[in-house]
Structure formats: structure tokens, C-alpha cells
Structure 1
């Protein structure tokens, strides 16, 4: 049994976490993402992982891939560790939520979702490396927070070549691990109207903004447990003295199962008309818990019990790239990252006390997964 690291032994991991957090990487900033991916390559190289050679597909996906195989001594399908470097926080968020340690809480944008998970996985690999029986592959992407439009194909291809997938997304609030996730649907809403002079002839116009606003209220009011609809981006009009001809919004829907997904699509279809269109632009598929997922969880549960760490098997409403691999039927275990709070908020932080024990869980899990067929 590999023991958990002491606080002193985590100093190097915290230094790495600080480097990653101080390199801000919002999903929509290509220059910031390029800097983050370059830093990630350097971190992998420092740990002795072999970086995948430059490849048009890898570059197009905006990803970094690296393998630990003990210099070629390890063979067979790898354990794939799947993470993302991008965050929802814009460059400059550090001014309001700077890197700092306050007691057992470590703060910073993206620290929990999911730079802390990447660091945890690397520290687990460092401790497990001498005991591994199969290779470990890292795939770090840069578009997870926007639905993985560039990297989905690469993720699915690497998952199909792997023995199983581990995802160090944040733990559930109770420390639980994730063995299934709800489907995540992203819609583009577009409303149209008729322009007119807003000061002189407002009655001659038809406001697209008004139509969109009514639709948002109607759609969000139909949310219920397991079937939620939420608008997070909105825009419309170009001139304040014109009745707006066009307005648009982006809506995220979460469906716990196929029945609720059908309910959501029916609600949206019932709201659309000649003046309001709703297009499904991307979807993270429903990840229904399978036997392979539960088999990995049972290994993790046994490891955690030996270490005195409480875990449980949970199904999550939040999406991740684990949706993609789990839906393929590749054995997947998610939520292996640290505990914390403030996801996507201005006070995002991780629980420092959870870092060492969960490093130990993942390190031992990597070793024991080597014995699986």
C-alpha cells in the first residue's frame, strides 16, 4: 500500500499547482490556452513522461498527450487519465481571487475545476510509477468547458485504445466518486422581429428581444429535477433607437435519462415558432453506469477503505469528458480530484486536507488497475 504524502511531501505539488493557476487559461482565449499547453508540456517533461510527437490532429484538438511507460518497460493498453486545462474564468480573474492559502483552503481560478485534479494525478503517478504493471497515458484538453468541440474525436479515439479511463474532476461534495453523468445539451436560441424607429414609430416594429425574453422565462420555468433548462448567454439589438430585429441566447439543458431528455426536447419544440428558432449545437451523451465502471469503482472503494478515506458511488448532473468515454462503454471512473467548493465562482478553492489522501487513493488505484484484464 502506497501511503498518503505528508504535508511536507506536497510542497512540490503545490508549487506546480501554483504555476498552473497563475497561468490563466479561459476557454475562449487562444493565446492564453497556447501558453497553458506549453506549460503543461514542460510539466510532463519534468516528470519524465514521453510527449506525443507533433501531430495535426493533436494540434487541431488543442491538446497535449503524454505517456509514462518506464522507458518502454511497460506494455499493453494504458490507463488513460483525462483532464482539461481550460477554465471559465477570464484573464484577470486572479486580481479578484488570487493564489493564496488560508488554513486548509487553497484559492485561485480553475484550481478545483480542474488544475488541482491534474496536479493530483501527476503526484499519484510519481508515487505509483515504480509499481505499475501497465502504461499510464495523460490527455489534457483545452475546450472541455465549452463542450469539447475540438477534442471530442481525439478523446474517443484514445479511450478506445485504453484499458480504462480515470478523470480527476473535482470530488462530489461528500467526497464521492462519479460512475455516471447526465446528458448535457447546448442549444442556440435565435429570435427575429421587425425593425422600426424606437422613438418615432415603436408600434410599427416587433421586438426580437421581447420575443426572446418571453421564451427564456417560459423555458426556464419548465425545469424540474432531472430535466433543467438554463440560459447563460444572451445578446440582441445594435442600436438603442431601433426596435431590435434579432436577438440570440445560449441555453444549457441537463437530462438525467432518456425520458427527461425527450421531455426537454418536447418543451423546446413547443416554444419555437416562426419568430424563435432553437438549434441543438452540441451534446454530451448520457453516461449510464455500466459493469466496467462499477468494477473500477470497487477497486477504488477497497483502496480508499484501506486508507481510511470515505468514498461513495455517485451519478452527477454536471458534465465532463467522462460522459464521452463512459457512453462509449469504456470503463470510466470520474470525480477522482480533490474536494473543495466555489466551482466556476469568484471564490473557487480546494480543500488542502483532501489532497494527500486522494493522491494516495489514485496512486494505489493506478497500481491495482494493472492487474485487470
Structure 2
């Protein structure tokens, strides 16, 4: 069986396996054996911005999954802190995906309508609490120079996967808000930064924006509205969904959502107010790969002599495979087996044979993957 897919070449031949042992009875195999295992993993985040002085509405443009990637299924909000879902397809058995709101300054919401879905999937939405808007948003804009960008507060969100996912994509959609009077305007929105991958600060090049950033600028693993966009605007910030790609084997990642504010017009110096915002919509996207396996071997063997068979693993796509573990069992009729020769990555423990293929700079063991 294929016990876990992680990453690697589109096609790998298992090569020649030779094993020595005593064969008591019966044929070695009943002919070729084939199994297929589809692993679809996904994680992404989506945001968009709208234009009301109250809570902003949905993004101006719906997202479309990057070619060859699949989104996580519909999420369930268990509380203001946690949202859960599973991997799509056959990978659901790997376990639960958890999204956790790390900040008391924000709340997780699930509107349950198409307005807050992404690619037809209901996703978590994170936004500042009203208390956060009042306590941190108002001082963030009141008395500040026109067109000065200010950071009001920070809100954290962490997604944890049950198994490592290679090169996932996060879809991020930010919904902004605005306040205005006849002579003054303010804007509020989220900047978003990837602050950790697998519990550590991202290394150089670990976060990219291959599909563009809409109205946002991207630097230092952070999406920020640039000064040129904010200047003198009296409408709420808007942006299409932005996709960020994380590189390598990812088991968790954290986002910091920065509640930002600016006074964009105030010729009379009046008292202004901050605005609630539509917040952050997010989901995870993963590249699916369909692996199949075939095994051939002799129908009989000589007692005490070597037994030779071949195992071939094929990736049927649509994305390149990033590595895998093949687990095979020595037939019950073979006693005291020992591995005579095998391709790199193969080990024999008792009657269990494991052969693994890992991505560059990574090692892999049964039911686990780790970076080196």
C-alpha cells in the first residue's frame, strides 16, 4: 500500500528488490497487484474588500482556484477561536485540519452564505471585535495627519494540518471599511503577513506571490496597502483575492492580520472615527497527485534462495508527486527474510518492507516526513 504521499518525480521505478529467506509452501504471488491512492491536500486563504462605513461586505471579485490545486472542503466554526475541516477526497482519513484564532482582539465568523464562500466553499472569516475597533481603531486615526498609515492592532490566525503538505497555497481576501462625514474620511483594512511556517519564522523565499497581489504590495512576507493606494481616497479599500504560496513541507502556518487605519481627508480637523471591516477570509489549497502501484514477482521460489520482485510507483497527476512511502509485506510463507539488495530508501523490519522517495533536502520515514 502507499502509506503517505509527500513530494518528488512524476514517475519512479522501484527497481529490483532481492530478498533471501526460506519459502515453505504456496506460490509467491497471485500475479501483479495494483493499488491507487488519491491524495488531495489543500489550504488557502481568501480576502476581499468592500465599501461601507459599517461592516464591509464581500470581496469585489470571487476567487478561482489556481490551476491544478484543490481547496479544503467546507469549514465548521466550533467557537470564536476554532474552525475545523478535513482534507478533500481520499485524504480525509488523514485527520482534522484546524484553524485557530490566536487573538482576543478578533473573532472568527462563519456567515453560512455564498457571500462568504471561496470557490463555493464556506471558509473562516476573521475580523476585529467591536471593542477592538473602539479601543484601538479610534485612537489609531483620531488626531493623525492626513494620509498617514497607522497600525492599530494585530490579530493572529494559525492553521494546522494533520500531515505535511507540499507547497500549499493560501488564498487571502481582505474586506476593508470606511467612515466619512461631509468633510472627513477614514479608511480601515487588514494587512496580512505570514509570520511562521511549522512554528518558525519563514526562511528567505519560503513565501511567494506567484499570481499577483491586486492592490497590495508584497514585501517581507507581508501584504500591505501601499501609500499610493491610500492617498486621498474616501471609499473603502478593495482588492481581489491574493494567493500566497508556501514552499516546502508544511504542517502549520500562522498569519498576523494587522488592523490598519488612515485619515484620508479632514480639512477642518474634525473628530473622526475608525470603521469596522469585512475582515479576512481564508482557505488552503493543495496540489493533488494520484499515485498507482504495481508489483510483479515469480510464482515460486527455491528454499533458502533469493526471491526477486519489482515494485513500480506511477504518478497519474495532475500535479507532480513530491515523494511517497511504499509499504509491502513479505509473504507469510517466507521465514527469516533478509534484504539482499534494493533501491535507496528501502528498509526491511521483520516482514514489513518500506521504500520511500523524498523531495530534495528531506528525509522520510513511515507515516512521517521531516525536513533536514
TM-score by length of 1: 0.24
Higher RCO (Cα < 8 Å, 6 or more apart): 2
More helix by share: 1
TM-score by length of 2: 0.24
Q: Bigger radius of gyration, 1 or 2?
A: 2
